[in-house]
Structure 1
Amino acid sequence: MTSTQAGAWDETLDDLEARRKRSYAMGGAERVAKHRAKGKLDARARVRALLDPGSFQEFGTLVGGEIAADAIVTGTGEINGMPVVVGAEDFTTFAGTIAPGSNAKRYRVAELALRNRIPMVMLLEGAGFRPTGDHYGRTPTDLLMQAQCSGKVPIVTAVLGPSAGHGALVAPVSDFRVMSDQGSIFTAGPPVVKASTGEDISKEDLGGPTVAIPSGVIHNHYADDLTCLNEVRRYLSYFPPSAWSYPAPRPGDADDPEITGPRDSSELLEVVSRDNRRVYDMHDVLDIVLDTDDWMEIQPKFGQAVICALGHLGGHPVAVVANQPQVLAGSIDAAAADKAAHFIQVADSFHLPLIFLADNPGMLPGSRSEREGVLLAGGKMFAAQTTATTLKLHLTLRKAYGFGSMVMSLLGFDNQVAAFAYPGATMGAMGAGALSSASGADADMAKQLRDMELAASYYSAEMMGFDELIDPRETRNQLLFALRRGLYSRQAAPEPVQRTAIMP
């Protein structure tokens, strides 16, 4: 090409660069500075912090014309070397609101995620639909496409400022939702609430972390933007890019004998008391059983009677559902069951092996628990775990009673890869104490019931109720070897899970 021919491009390319710069400037230097003065990153800085350096490729840069990127930055990039598609609402431009152009960009984000079979990440800080006067007609909404993505590609949302209306609906449809200290999420913001109901309330009191975490709308809460974005990266490190892939072992673990080789679990004898009435912290069990103690807990402040965690066993990503004896003695309440049901479905959708660690006296009884819908939530958890098609491993540590045992995969013919229990583990319809009270048993009968309860694990083992009663010191190795064996069943290409039950 001659210099004359190349020079003919100058005016055109200068025009393109000027238009891009206008988009890159977002809401302008003054608004961006004001935004950052609040301790928040701007939309483009958030995208850079989320993605691997140099991997971002933007699309839709010129949508909106004079309105920079039409208030949402969209594109593709990589997280830990895995391709992802990302959208970041720009609050400095028309408060991150949604117009026809930005709606089309949001739809394209979800469309590319599903077409390319890669995760989708949305960074929210916006005020919902923009009052433009334009008629949307039958224009497809982004939520329509996001629903098609569900269960097929991982969907993660970070709420990093106020998020209202249509934009806020992205979060509850996601697999994993995080929020910063400055985040808030609601159906409608304080001005609309004031006009509609007369209630005068701040955005923090309406949908900040103190509301969104207890309600279960948001899973995990972190101090600032950067921590949220790092935790999104961490979360995705456990997952395959889509339901058409299996989770990959952690790089380098295969060469580490401390990870892949046998390991004694003697510390569990000190952690797990033989006395059913003494509490212990199930977090300590996970520290010992999993490869390292840097596993990731999901929704640690909601439904705390059950721990849901992502970790590694022998280098393989796993999802753990464990009763927490420190909370309600391990009894499963409605919040814990709801949390576990969602977590199980997400793990199953992306083929993460599920490990159930049971130590509970059943579902939480009582009038308050019934008013909160414990049976309905328990039904959701049961349906999620029994229809799960991924590998399932079960261990009863001390006790598992009634429906509380069934939701934790202590159920015969439930397609577990392995089912273990510690000797002396107690099980049945209910504990001996409760049965004695319910039946009006005298002292001799009550003692017989207690003796039968203590012998239950041996009776069950004699009838093949478990694959094996194990010494607590064998815990990690038994689970590890069972997992390895189970992974050999994956001799065909994975496919998205077809749900086989109507969720209660």
Structure 2
Amino acid sequence: MSNAQDWQDTLHDLSRRRQHAHSMGGEERLAKHHGKGKLDARARIDHLLDPGTFQEFGTLVGGEIAADGLVAGAGRIDGTPVMVGAEDFTTLAGSIGPGGNAKRYRLAELALRNKIPLVMLLEGAGFRAAGGEHYGRTPTDLIAQARCSGKVPTISAVLGPSAGHGALVAPVCDFSIMSDQGAIFTAGPPVVKEATGEDISKEELGGPTVALPSGVIHNVADSDEAVLDDIRRYLSYFPSSAWSYPPTRMYDEEAGLRSTPELLDIISRDNRNIYDMRTVLDVVFDEPDWFEIQPKFGQAIICALAHLGGYPVAVVANQPTELAGSIDSDAADKAAHFIMVADSFHVPIVFLADNPGMLPGSQSERNGVLRSGARMFAAQTAATTLKLHVTLRKAFGFGSMVMSLLGFDNQVATFAYPGATMGAMSAAALSRASHADEDVTETLKSMELEASYRSAGSLGFDELISPEETRNSLILALQRGIFSRQEVAEPVSRTVITP
């Protein structure tokens, strides 16, 4: 008998065990899962990764419990290695057992060790009833994930009900996205019913209509496939880790210099006329392919990933269609997190300011608008990445400071349009506060229009520019700023205590 024949029984046994793990919860449970329009855990990984690149580890963990309810391994997205874990809802509702918990830790450990992104696909019931099994130090996977923060990009997707310990993965990540069938909560409806007597569905408890307005989840997409496509898109703007710089697109005509006369029609010279800042982004950045983060939360600020002259950038822009651009606590909290993520991975930040300040009023104060504003200010002034600023029409009070409109704050460039107004408050507010008559009001408005020239006279801005020059001014400044990358990239050292 040859050596090869000696191996046959052993390899057949290995193949049988692998096949059991690949069968997940079995044909009946898989069919039920697919019947809801969902991909199973392995199909999700296949869709997310470049074809044929998935290399699984821990396949036989769990023994008779297929992969112990968690498919884990490494693969590539657009050629870049990533670590990926997918909870298998067809196997004991994707609950976390001892082996699965170990795999979760290993995923985060390898992501940080190899300096590559970590992606977690969630649909599970949290920790499994122990049943005499030893879980060891159960929170270690979250500790390992927290160590990844600011070092490698971390992304989560909620593709079904996600409860308990597993659900904590999402808010710890840089970016979280949910399908329209997703739901996330501390404990599911049965536990809520037992604990509080409240009878509630999983959708009402933590579906998109709850998780998006609360800010727990950043984005939503209408199918598993769309969620996974958005993860690939999100990662395209980032380096593999904080030890490298973001990828640059090859230069082409679309990424080159061009004037932006369209902005003369979009942006009214009258501060009282509203326009949609999204139309400005469409004009200024390369192709209208920018990717908005948290569009349903803190809508007075737009946070988006875009390309400018081929370079990935993070955009923080006031939105005049929401609260007239006033910055509320949700918008400031959203922007603070977004700025810290961009800064962590050396993505340049472009600030587009057009706001009358922080949102005033009793409700806004009860929501802690000053604390949230201070958080955003701390994030942006501590940011070490390249910062570029444009004041389009107005930026008043603290609303100007959080948008990086502070002279000598280490910006690469600061620009403003002629007639852009700034100060403690607008002319309209000042005239109302002083009970001014119409003549005085007009005088105040005239003084306000001169503010940009007075500021330019003392170098309050690097330059006043025409709206037609917006894109070219930003590209040329960014290209100069990129030359500061003359040292090897390193993780950002945080020195500010976040308010």
State how 1:28-427 maps to structure 2 within 5 Å: 28-132=26-130, 133-138=132-137, 141-250=140-249, 253-254=250-251, 256-260=252-256, 262-427=257-422
Amino acid at match of 2:234: Y
Quote how far apart the aligned CAs of 1:141 are. 1.8
Q: For 2:468 and 2:480, how far apart are their aligned partners in 1?
A: 20
Separation (CA, whole Å) in 1 of partners of 2:305 and 2:437: 47
Matched, 1:432 2:430: no
Structure 2 match to 1:487 = 482
Which residue is 2:464 aligned to? Answer: 469
Q: What SS is found at the alignment partner of 1:317?
A: strand
Quick one: distance in 1 between partners of 2:350 and 2:240? 22
Distance in 2 of aligned mates of 1:337 and 1:257: 36
Match of 1:502 in 2: 497
Q: CA deviation at 1:219?
A: 0.7
- Gaps (5+ residues) in structure 1? none
Conservation of the 8 A alpha-carbon contact between 1:282 and 1:325: yes
Aligned-partner residue type, residue 104 of structure 1: A
**TM (normalized to structure 1)?**
0.97
Task: Tell me by how many angstroms 1:308 deviates.
Answer: 0.5
How many residues were matched structurally? Answer: 498
Post-superposition shift, 1:47? 0.4
For 2:335, the aligned partner's letter is A
Letter in 1 for 2:405: L
Equivalence map 1:10-21=2 (5 Å)? 10-21=8-19
Tell me the distance in 2 between the aligned counterparts of 1:106 and 1:447. Answer: 64
Conserved in 2, the CA contact under 8 Å of 1:266 and 1:473?
yes
Deviation per residue, 1:223-249 (Å, 9 max, x gap): 110000000000000000000000011
1:440: Cα distance to partner?
4.1
Residue 385 of structure 2 aligns with an amino acid whose one-letter code is T
1:183 partner letter: G
- Is contact 2:154-2:174 (8 Å) kept? yes
Given the two structures, how large is their TM-score scaled by the length of structure 2? 0.98
Contact 1:107 1:140 in 2 (8 A): no
The Cα shift of 1:441 comes to 4.1
Could you tell me which amino acid in structure 2 is paired with residue 416 of structure 1?
A: Q
In structure 1, give the amino acid aligned to 2:81: P
Measured after TM superposition, the shift of residue 190 of structure 1 is 0.3
Work out whether residues 329 and 372 of structure 2, in 8 Å CA contact, stay in contact via their aligned partners in 1.
yes
Shift of residue 412, structure 1, vs aligned partner:
1.3
Aligned counterparts of 2:229 and 2:137: Cα–Cα separation in 1: 38
Q: Distance in 2 between matches of 1:139 and 1:473?
A: 57
SS at match of 1:398: strand
Residue 135 of structure 1, CA deviation: 3.6
Give the % identical residues: 72
User: How many angstroms apart in 1 are the aligned matches of 2:364 and 2:395?
Assistant: 19
Separation of aligned partners in 1, 2:421 and 2:315: 21
What's the counterpart of residue 5 of structure 1?
A: 3
Aligned-pair Cα RMSD in Å:
1.1
Distance in 1 between the 2:259 and 2:438 partners?
Answer: 42
Q: Contact between 1:85 and 1:112, CA under 8 Å: does it hold in 2?
A: yes
Structure 1 residue 443: Cα displacement: 4.9
After TM superposition, give the deviation of residue 295 of structure 1 in Å. Answer: 0.8
CA-to-aligned-CA distance 1:280-303 (integer Å, 9 cap, x gap): 111111011001101101111111
Q: Which amino acid aligns with 1:236?
A: L
- Residue 442 of structure 1 deviates from its aligned partner by 5.0
Kindly indicate whether the alpha-carbon contact (under 8 Å) linking 1:265 and 1:474 is maintained by their aligned counterparts in 2: yes
State the shift of 1:445 in Å.
Answer: 4.2
Structure 2 distance, partners of 1:136, 1:70, is 13
Residue type of the alignment partner of 2:197: G
Q: Distance in 2 between matches of 1:7 and 1:364?
A: 77
Structure 2 regions of 5+ residues with no counterpart? none
d(CA) in 1 for partners of 2:480 and 2:295? 31
Local SS of the residue matching 2:484? coil
Amino acid at match of 2:362: S
Any conservation in 2 of the 1:168–1:186 contact (CA below 8 Å)?
yes
Question: What is the distance in 1 between the residues matched to 2:434 and 2:63?
Answer: 76
Q: Which amino acid aligns with 1:258?
A: E
Question: How far, CA to CA, are the matches of 1:55 and 1:354 in structure 2?
Answer: 33
User: Aligned partner of 2:255: which letter?
Assistant: I
Higher mean C-alpha deviation, range 394-403 or range 4-13: 4-13
Contact 2:254 2:287 in 1 (8 A): no
Letter in 1 for 2:183: S
